[in-house]
Amino acid sequence: MAVERTVVFLLAENCLLREALVRVLRNKEDICVAGAVAFSSSVLEKIALTNPHVVLFDSASIALSGPRLVAHMRERTEGCKSIMVGMEEDEPTFLRAVAEGVVGYVLKNASAAEIVRVIRAVAGGEAVCPPQFSVSLFRRAAREISLSFKSTKDTKFGLSRREQQLVELIRIGLSNKEIGARLHLSEQTVKNHIHRILRKVGACDRLEIVQNCREDATGSMKFLDLAG
């Protein structure tokens, strides 16, 4: 009986890391390595051509590509899941990766067996991180849930939780397309949400949305912390 294989693409700046991972993964009958490269301007096209289930990349790739790497991969490759190898045991880096859409996170000192386990888990629909970072996720989740209940109750403009999310993403300068990628919405759906927000807050444009909501924040409105 044929084994269903998980297609993995490796993106790492360190040549030794790439070669070591290739050797390990190619010995697994349920994993297929579709590519192993360093970052370049054409890497998104290479990933899209191989249509992997999982992309495993290191934090150096994020540093070179910018923080939108995961979102761009998701836009080009439907269903693609991302695992990041963190070079340092750094909580802010981990939380930013989660905010960008990473669903698997391992540290550079992880064993080969652990990396294989994480790839299999992520491919199977799980989210995985080192135990020491779990408390960070619980703390952030508790804060967001608390804020969502409070903002739903107190918001002067009556914005829904989704609309508050859009206001925060408008505030940090994202375009409609980028907002759609972040929230897994079509660009037209984002436009529809923004039209409703304009009416609710009495604004004429995006800048005025932010200004009006910032004024309200001094009273009752609390923005959701999306970016960590």
pLDDT surpassing 60 at residue 160: yes
Cα 214 to Cα 169: distance, rounded to the nearest angstrom: 13
Dihedral sign for Cα 203, 209, 211, 215, please. positive
pTM: 0.63
DSSP 3-state of 225: coil
Which of 78, 109, 129 delimits the end of a domain?
129
* pLDDT above 80 (res 144): no
**Which is more confident, 140 or 221?**
140
Residue 25 and residue 101 in one domain: yes
pLDDT band at 29 (very low <50, low <70, confident <90, very high): very high
Q: How confident is the model at residue 207 (pLDDT cuts 50, 70, 90)?
A: confident
- The CATH code of the domain that includes 143 is 1.10.10.10
Q: By residue range, what is the domain housing residue 145? A: 136-217
- 156 and 109 fall within a common domain: no
Q: Is 59 exposed, middle or buried (0-12, 13-18, 19+ CB in 10 A)?
A: buried
Which residues are CB-contacts of 205 (< 8 A; sequence separation ≥ 6)? 198
More confident call, 200 vs 224: 200
Joined tokens for residue 25: 């993964």
Q: How many CB atoms lie within 10 A of CB 176?
A: 20
DSSP 8-state class, residue 5: P
Residue where one domain finishes, among candidates 72, 96, 129: 129
In tens, the pLDDT along 192-203 reads 999 999 998 888
Is there a domain that residue 61 lies in?
yes
pLDDT category at 227 given cuts 50, 70, 90 is very low
Q: What is the pLDDT of residue 126?
A: 95
Of 20 and 3, the one with more pLDDT: 20
**Beta pairing partners, 21:** none
Which residue has tokens 């044929």?
2
What pLDDT score does 228 carry? 38
Q: Is residue 141 part of a domain?
A: yes
Phi and psi at residue 58, to the nearest 5° = -100, 165
Q: Are residues 115 and 41 in the same domain?
A: yes
Please check the confidence at residue 157 and state whether its pLDDT lies above 90.
no
Q: How many domains does the chain have?
A: 2
Q: How many helices (H) and strands (E) does the chain have?
A: 11, 5
Sign of the torsion angle spanned by Cα atoms 93, 99, 101, 103: positive
User: Taken in order 97, 55, 15, 31, is the CA torsion positive or negative?
Assistant: positive
